Structures are given as C-alpha cells and as structure tokens.
Structure 1
Amino acid sequence: MRDDPRLTVAIVGRPNVGKSTLFNRLVGRRLAIVHDEPGVTRDRREGEGRIGDLRFRVIDTAGLEDAPADSLAGRMRTQTEAAIEDADVALFLVDARSGLMPDDHYFGEVLRRAGKPVILIANKSEGSASDAGYYEAFSLGLGEPVALSAEHGLGLADLADALERQAEEHAQRVEPAPAEQAASEEDETGPIRIAIVGRPNVGKSTLINRLIGSERLLTGPEAGITRDAITLDWEWKGRPVQLVDTAGMRRKARVQEKLEKLSVADTLRAVRFAHVVVVVIDIDQPFEKQDLQIADLVVREGRALVIAFNKWDRAEDADAQLRDLRLEADRLIAQVRGMPTVPVSGLAGRGLDNLMKAVFKTYERWNRRVSTGELNRWFAELLEHHQPPAVAGRRIRLRYITQVSSRPPTFVCFCSRPEALPESYKRYLVNGLRETFDLEGIPVRLLLRKQENPYDKS
C-alpha cells in the first residue's frame, strides 16, 4: 500500500484525445506540452490536481497504442500500464468529435482487466458535433461517460462528482483501523434494503414481526397504526438486511390529514431508497385500485418488485386461488410480467422462507449486467429473425445495443431513426431481453439513441 493517502488518478487514452490538455486543466498550469500532433507525451508526468476542494495526485500518460513491446510505442505503453497499476482510478479519455476507434475498444478491455475503477470521459464534447461520439462511448460498457471539454473547461462539475465518489471509497480503503475495516467490508457487501408496502391493514407490520421473530412493531386490527417508516437491521441466513415497515397507502383522494400526507411521503421515500419492494396484498380484497397504483409506482421508480399474497391461512382452495391470483398479477401488472408472487401468512408464519428466497433472487436479477458482446450476438440473431418494420417507406436501421447500468438493468439501443421505431417493436426488444437474459419480473429500461451515419446523404 502506498504511503500517500491521497487519491491517485491516471489519465489514459489513445494518442491525441486531449489527455495533456486535461492534465493541465487539473493542475492549473501548462506543465504538459499540448499539440495537435499525436504522441507528444511519452513519459509519465505527475502533478497536484485540484477540482473545487478535492486534491489528488494526477498522472499524465503517453497515448496507448497497440504496438510490439520492443518498439518506442510499446515502451510508452509499458509506462502507461505502470501508471495504471500505480493509480487508484483511471480517467479513460475518448474523442467525442471523431468517435470511437478500434484502439478505444481494445484499451477499454485492457482497463477492465486491470480491475481498477474507470471514469469514462467523452472529451471534446463542445457543440452538437460531439453528440454522436458521446452516445457511441456507451458501447464500451464502462458506464455512462462524462461529457467534457478539457480545452474549454466544460463538464468539470460532473467530473468532480465522479472523482468525489472515488475519493470517498479510497479514503475507506487506506489503512483503516480495525473497527473501520469491519465497517468497510460491511459496506462492500451492504445490507439489502427491503421496503414492505401496501394498503392499510394488510398485515405489513405483523409480517415483519414474524420475519424477525420479535414483536418489534406495533400491530393491531386498527388501520393506520404505522405512521412513519421504521427501519430494522436484520440478518437472513447470514445476509445483512434492512427491513423498512411503512405506513399504509390509501387512495390520494382519501388522504386529507397533514399527518397522513407526511406518512405517505415517508413511504414514497422508502420506496425510492429501497432495493426490493414487497407489496403486500390481502387475498380477501386482492388487486384493488390502490394495490395496482402502488405496484406501478414501484416499477416507475425502477425498484425490484415482489408480491406477497398475505393472510394465506384463510385460503380455501389454495392451489386454484394461487393460480388465479398469479394470472391476475401478470394481466394487471403487465409491465413486469413474471414477477415473483409468494403466498404468505404473517399471522401463522407460513411462506416466509419462500418470500425471502424470492426477494434475493429478484435482487440478483435487478443487479444483473450483460456484456456488450453477449448482447450484440443476441441482437444480431433477433434482427435476423425479425427486422423492424419500415415506417413511411424507410427502413429503421438498428446498429447495436449496450447495457449502461443496472439496478434496474438499463440498455441503450443505437438506431437510425429512434423517434420512428414503433412501441410494439420496442416491447418486442424488451421482452427478448427479459427472456434471453433471465430478467423476468423486474423493470427493464430501453433507451433509443440516434447514431449519425456520416456517409448517409439522404
């Protein structure tokens, strides 16, 4: 481990993407020579970087080139690789004006294998001419790029935010005390935050009490006992969990008192900060309008959804009732068809283990990432089987697809005319993603972006 506790940042990328310009911008002086000719920088150059209140060590590197190890370019690459090894985070620059080159993809893989955090920067992002290159950078599979113009100082606030997050994580890793070490390890695994929501008096607090094996929450036959969101730390089979009990959510028209409005706001906040939301439904009054609105809210917020059919101890023909309820769930909450639906009884303690298994399985799907290569192999087969329809006599060309984030899985599809792609075909793509990559029952977001074709004169 280095003695220097500061964050160390290496600026890397192929030649002439603006690394030295960014280096000079960060150190506040023209320490590095900047010229249009590629390959001006050959050795590593270090300086004291600063953005706002954040201080860090910054290393300017030679342009990455795929060349024999014994050549000049190869030796320059060795120096750059040493800088990456020494760094805590790599700023990977690509040129948004000229777009991606083969070397960008190659060295993106090199950085991924290095195992260091990477902040992807689409440099030279001044003006609309850089838009296509910015969106193309998503295809590297290194997350959402920071749009930056090192020359003009545009986008530095976004870069500062990204570096602040890396600095906070670095501070936790540098020689922590024993207690801090334990906290750091706990943060990495992190507790799964599970919000239990539903209409008033469907048995949310009773369900949580039975899960944790303690009468921790006040329960009773009266509706609306729980008023604010209560967070409980718990473990399920050695996995840390935060359970959040929430106030029952009535229809908006019935929410009159200020206290109840605050309770509903607290519940909405709990949903937004949860990883998995368990919507508890009373089997005696299933799928009322408010149940569906709550489920729709969970999906719109991008949270993982699990349906718990509570009071199952009252079920008479259990198998037939469960089959009917699951069919209704898929019909009424079609945007996440195939979501886990688990019969439980908080009062009798039935089905709780199955509920938690469903929660963790859904959480894993919600976190799932699919490589760009695997996605585009599937994409090519799908297009071969079913091309998008022509609109106004013109074909819509779908170029490629990449996953830009998880939680929920979010994909960007680049095409020639995103505004013209029919909703039905977009649903076809989303359903294909769900079925092929085991994303059933969770929100999946598909964004369409236009990729400019410089050779298309039409």
Structure 2
Amino acid sequence: MPSLPVVAIIGRPNVGKSTLFNRLVGKKLALVDDTPGVTRDRREGDATLIGIDFRVIDTAGYEDEDAASLPGRMRQQTEAAVAQADVALFLVDARAGIVPLDEEIARWLRGSTTPIVLVANKAEGKAGNDGILESLALGFGDPVELSAEHGEGLVELFDALLPFIEPEKNPDGTDIPNADPEEEYSPDAPLKLAIIGRPNAGKSTLINKILGEERLITGPEAGITRDSIAIDWMWHDPDREPGDDARKVRLIDTAGMRKRANVQEKLEKLAVADALHAIDFAEVVVLLLDATRGLESQDLRIADAALQEGRALIVVINKWDVAENGSSLFNGIKGALEEGLSQIKGMPVLTVSAITGKGIDTMLKVAFDTREAWSRRVGTGELNRWFERAVEANPPPAPGGKRIKLRYLTQAKTRPPGFVLFGTRVDQLPMSYQRYLINGIRRDLGFGAVPVRLTLRAPKNPFDR
C-alpha cells in the first residue's frame, strides 16, 4: 500500500487541536477537555476530507519550557511531528485572540521547511472576528476560518490542504487521483457514448450499423430517462492485437428526438430536451450532423449544452457518401464550430457514412482517446513546472500599476479536468490571460480539445494584495 501524506496539527494548549483531529478522523480518538495539556503524546489516525486521504497527527500543546521538563519533552514530540509532516496546520483560537505564545510558535515555524497553513479555530459567529484580524500579523497569510466543534469551514480547509498533498502512487509510479468514486477512471470500463443530433441526421441508421443489426431503439430502461436507452456492446478495435481488441462501449441513444410535433419550434425543444438527458449519462458525446444540411443553430445549442455539462465532445458529419463539395463543406463546418464554440479550440470533426459504415472505427477510436484525455490527471510537480514556464514566458498584466502575483496551480478534479489557480489580485486577471493558461494546459499537458475549467482563488487578507 502506498504511504499516505502526513498532516500535523500544532498550536498552543487548548486551541482545539484534538477536536479538529477527531473531526478529521471521524472518531473520538483523542481526549477533549477544557483543561490545557490533555494531549501529551503524538496521536495519529487516518483521515479523509472531501476525497483527500491522509495521515493526521494530533500534537501536544506547544509550550516554551526547558527541554528536560515534561512540557519540554512534549514540545520535542511536536517538533518531530512537524519535521515528518508534508504540511502542518497551525491552529490559533480566534475567540481568545493572538497571545505571546502564538507569536513564539510562529517564529519557530517560519524557520521550518514544512509548509504551514494558518487555521483560525472557534471562528463561528462574530466573536472571533478580532482574533482573525490579529492572526494576519503572524506572517502566514489569510487564515482558514473554521469551527472544529461544529464542522464549519471544512471546505475551505480542503482548498488550503490540496496543493500540499501529493496524490498517492500506483505501483508503476502513476498518480491515483483524489477523486469522488464517480470520477474514478479505468481504461477497461465501458465507454459511455451518447450519439445526439437533430431529427433526420441519420442517428438511428448509424446506431443500427454500429450494432450490426436492424433495431428500433425505443422504450424505457431502469436508471436512464424514459426517452433514452443504454446498450452494452463490444467494439473490436482493428488497431489492436487479436484477442486484445475487444473494448466495452455503453451506447446511449436518444430515441425521443424523432417525436411528432405540429410546429418545428416544439420539435426543436423536444430534441434539445432529450439530448440533455442523454448528455447527463455520457462521458463522450457525439454530435451527429447531416452533410446534406450542414451546421444549424440547434446543433450549436446542443454542442454548447454538452460543453457546459463538462462532457467531452466530438462532431461527426454523417451521410458523407452523398455529400457534395466535401472539402468546402468540411472546412465551412469546422470554421463555424470554431466561431460558435470559441471556448474549445481544435475540437475533433470527423466524417462517417451510416449506410456504408466508413469512418465508424475512426470515430470510436477518437472517442476512446478523448475519454482518456478527459480523465487525465497531471502530477503536481509536472503541472507547476509547466506553470512556471508559462508565467515566465507571458507574465500577467499589472492593472493600475499593481502586479498580479500568481503563486501556484493545482488540479482539483478530473472528468472534466478542473484546475485551481492561487494568487493575489487574481480577481483582476483578464479573461484573455485565463484563456492563455487554459489553452496552454490543453496543448502542452495532453488534454486536447476537452473542456478545462479554471477557478481563481485569492486571499481575503487586504494586506496580501
């Protein structure tokens, strides 16, 4: 089993360290009492915080006493815990405010090589406001405000810890993402593929060709919306070795897109609504266009809906066997997509014939490759080496003559890939610069044309701007 990252909780006596320890491990393993000095030895436990797994150490209250005394030996245990930790949480009591011992601990921690996250505990209500402001003078930036007793502020604690905790490693050295169970990725899992499009784009014909049988795909299925159906089948990848070529696919079809309607507007609404249902259950969405009709506004609305949901998108032009002026048509559709879906550059645009089957294998191969990019996680080290180069090559602007300082970048999730950018005055970072970073992430880190989300996090401390 790979070793878990280590988080140490430190602070003077009676600031709530053991209460936070119990909160993180989910059990009352540490004794908690208003009497200072209850905890003497280091106590360790396995903790989970919003998908992050780590080892947490509860330390004795740090006291400035002779090393030979009991409090002095307790302090040595605390120092050893900080030395072995990947990150330390420095707890202060927001209600009591900052006292000289807090300042003494801060001076010691500033000489440590372990990253420090300042935490203002007992911050519920307004009684801790003054202590929170006082804690800014300790030199560790904006504190995480929480109440260990009531469980408030744990999301903010998660955000603060995430950049300092490396993902666990597989035996081959690759990262194991700290993700929710539904975001776990396995290349051997069925590809959840939704084929959507306007009525008469040839969707049903394409599905029948893929399945190798004439089949009317209608009717309900448990777990899927009433107008959709999921079909599990095996695709034999011609590029793989025989015996290893079978790949699982779960095809999600929207049977309701051909409902009868008295007016075209109602038909379009039904088509878009049903496409949205299919998107909810998909990993990769194939938007099927009709080569005889080109790209229409409804296609762009459906494509945008898929991207807004964070799904990977492939555009496939059907009826290519009867298309006229193919080169001009292809370039025209690709140009319209670049303009109409400007948030994604380089989106795959393919051609197929549902009648002859030409292009289907290419479509499926691109779908599997796209899912892999959509599920990709970049190691913290690789990501921040790229980030440093990107900022050096193109530094952020200085609006009003005040520099925007970008500190670090972390990948918070996959499927779709989401990144959090930490820095000062990032609320003034222009969209053009955010697009520069997003496009660079896609281009340089193997994400291709999948949706990439970037969240900006700035400190609340007005003096840290």
TM-score, length-normalised on structure 2? 0.64
- State the match for 1:15 in structure 2: 9
What is the Cα deviation at residue 350 of structure 1? 1.1
Distance 1:314 1:270, change over 3 A: same
When the two chains are superposed, the root-mean-square deviation of aligned CA atoms in Å is: 4.8
- State the match for 1:332 in structure 2: 340
Distance 1:75 1:381, change over 3 A: closer
1:282-315 deviation digits (Å, cap 9, x = unpaired): 1111210001111111111110001111111112
Distance 1:273 1:285, change over 3 A: same
Counterpart check, 1:296 vs 2:300: no
- State the match for 1:154 in structure 2: 152
Which has the larger displacement, 409-418 or 350-359?
409-418
CA–CA distance in structure 1, aligned partners of residues 363 and 297 of structure 2:
24
What is the Cα deviation at residue 104 of structure 1? 5.4
CA–CA distance in structure 2, aligned partners of residues 209 and 75 of structure 1:
67
Matches within 5 A, 1:215-254: 215-217=214-216, 228-237=227-236, 238-246=246-254, 247-248=256-257, 254=264
CA–CA distance in structure 1, aligned partners of residues 121 and 264 of structure 2:
53
Counterpart check, 1:103 vs 2:114: yes
Distance 1:34 1:202, change over 3 A: farther
CA–CA distance in structure 2, aligned partners of residues 319 and 211 of structure 1:
26
CA–CA distance in structure 2, aligned partners of residues 328 and 423 of structure 1:
22
Which has the larger displacement, 238-247 or 316-325?
316-325
Could you tell me which of 282, 296, 300 is aligned with 2:290?
A: 282
1:312-350 deviation digits (Å, cap 9, x = unpaired): 111244445434433333233221111111101112211
- State the match for 1:378 in structure 2: 386
Distance 1:388 1:212, change over 3 A: same
What is the Cα deviation at residue 35 of structure 1? 7.5
What is the Cα deviation at residue 201 of structure 1? 1.1
8 A contact 1:33–1:40 mirrored in 2:
no
AA aligned to 1:215 is E
Could you tell me which of 418, 425, 437 is aligned with 2:426?
A: 418
- State the match for 1:202 in structure 2: 201
8 A contact 1:62–1:76 mirrored in 2:
no
Distance 1:124 1:331, change over 3 A: same
Give percent identity, aligned residues only. 42
What is the Cα deviation at residue 30 of structure 1? 6.6
> Could you list the runs of 4 or more consecutive aligned residues of structure 1 that deviate by over 6 angstroms after TM superposition?
33-39, 74-77, 96-101, 155-159, 185-188, 260-263
- State the match for 1:305 in structure 2: 313
What is the Cα deviation at residue 394 of structure 1? 1.7
8 A contact 1:376–1:401 mirrored in 2:
yes
Three-state SS of the structure 2 residue aligned to 1:248 is helix
- State the match for 2:42 in structure 1: 42
AA aligned to 1:103 is T
Which has the larger displacement, 185-194 or 438-447?
185-194
Three-state SS of the structure 2 residue aligned to 1:335 is coil
Three-state SS of the structure 2 residue aligned to 1:154 is coil
8 A contact 1:231–1:245 mirrored in 2:
yes
CA–CA distance in structure 2, aligned partners of residues 427 and 157 of structure 1:
27
Q: Any gaps of 5 or more consecutive residues in structure 1?
A: 2-9, 50-58, 65-71, 82-91, 106-121, 134-145, 160-184, 220-225
CA–CA distance in structure 1, aligned partners of residues 206 and 145 of structure 2:
47
- State the match for 1:180 in structure 2: none
Matches within 5 A, 1:263-282: 264-282=272-290
1:332-382 deviation digits (Å, cap 9, x = unpaired): 322111111110111221100000011011101111111222222122222
Counterpart check, 1:438 vs 2:446: yes
Three-state SS of the structure 1 residue aligned to 2:249 is strand
- State the match for 1:406 in structure 2: 414
**Greater per-residue helix proportion:** 1
8 A contact 2:228–2:278 mirrored in 1:
yes
1:131-176 deviation digits (Å, cap 9, x = unpaired): x99xxxxxxxxxxxx99632234368999xxxxxxxxxxxxxxxxx
Matches within 5 A, 1:77-96: 94=89
8 A contact 2:289–2:318 mirrored in 1:
yes
1:379-424 deviation digits (Å, cap 9, x = unpaired): 2222222112221222211111111111111111112112211111
Q: Any gaps of 5 or more consecutive residues in structure 2?
A: 48-54, 61-75, 93-105, 137-143, 158-183, 219-224, 237-245
CA–CA distance in structure 1, aligned partners of residues 399 and 390 of structure 2:
19
What is the Cα deviation at residue 261 of structure 1? 6.3
1:424-449 deviation digits (Å, cap 9, x = unpaired): 11111111111111222111111111
Three-state SS of the structure 1 residue aligned to 2:257 is coil
